[in-house]
Amino acid sequence: MNGEINLLTLLSLVIAIVAIVKLRSVLGRRTSEDEARIEKRRREAQLQKTAAATQSDKVVTLPRREREAESTDTAVSVAEVEERIKSFAGKDTALANGLTDILKLDPAFDPEHFVRGARQAYEMIVTAFAEGNRRLLRDLLSADVLDSFTRAISEREQRGHVIDQSFVGINKADMIEAEVSPKGIASITLRFVSQLISATRDKAGNIIDGDDTRIKDVTDIWTFSRDISSREARRNLNWKLVGTQAPN
């Protein structure tokens, strides 16, 4: 009887071990549905990262200092920036007054940070126009300026012309005007002096305008605008190009 009991016990033990092994193998194995689900999540995460990177590349937020809390500390911060505006504007009283008006509505505004961001925006816009990148331009230009730029791009494409351009750099970016409209729209005008190597080619690849071997000095006067009329409006930090003009 002891032998029979030991045999039954042994058989039970073997069966239990086999069952545990099978159970572990099933629990630890990825089915085709599991693989598909994991791959789907991986693709979704990658798309989210790509979309975030694309949005970051498209939108130019002209840098500014973080907004201070609305307290006595803010008043001190405003006073400091006003002093910097006087230094920044030099003897141009009209410019200083315009920057001060912007500061009164937007205490976080900093003219030096603005100019650095505007330089970045200028290069992006000039390059996007040459490449015919409408998507990028859409996020940097006002509706009127975008319409003008896209018409020029379309006409160029219809003729089969291509701009071969290299952006060398910006020599100067001087702020020349600043104002706030009665509706609280801030506008700042800058004069850019840049260097480009640019040539326009026809369908056959022949140069019909410009020179692909010579650096050319280019002067542009651009106006950027942003709504700062309310706290809600100021949450949108993006300035857009609202006007261009040739230098006198």
The CATH number of whichever domain residue 114 belongs to comes to 3.10.450.240
Give the DSSP H or E segment for 147: helix 143-159
pLDDT of residue 203: 92
- Which ranges of the chain does DSSP label H, i.e. alpha helix? 2-27, 32-58, 72-89, 93-105, 111-131, 134-138, 143-159, 231-234
The answer to whether residue 32 is domain-embedded is no
The answer to whether residue 43 is domain-embedded is no
State the residue range of the domain holding 228: 69-245
Percentage above 90 pLDDT, the chain: 58
Q: Does the pLDDT at position 97 exceed 70? A: yes
Q: Does the pLDDT at position 247 exceed 60? A: yes
pLDDT of residue 83: 77
pLDDT of residue 88: 79
Burial class (CB in 10 A: 0-12, 13-18, 19+), 173: middle
Which of 116 and 5 is assigned the larger pLDDT?
A: 116
The answer to whether residue 164 is domain-embedded is yes
Q: Does the pLDDT at position 140 exceed 80? A: yes
CB atoms under 10 Å from CB of 248, counted, come to 4
pTM beyond cutoff 0.95: no
pLDDT of residue 65: 38
The answer to whether residue 55 is domain-embedded is no
CA 221 and chain centroid, separation: 22
19 pLDDT tier (thresholds 50, 70, 90): low
The answer to whether residue 45 is domain-embedded is no
Least confident of 12-16, 99-103, 110-114: 12-16
The answer to whether residue 54 is domain-embedded is no
Structural domains of the chain, count: 1
The answer to whether residue 42 is domain-embedded is no
CB atoms under 10 Å from CB of 222, counted, come to 20
The answer to whether residue 173 is domain-embedded is yes
57 pLDDT tier (thresholds 50, 70, 90): very low
At 138, the amino acid letter reads R
Mean pLDDT confidence for 38-47:
56
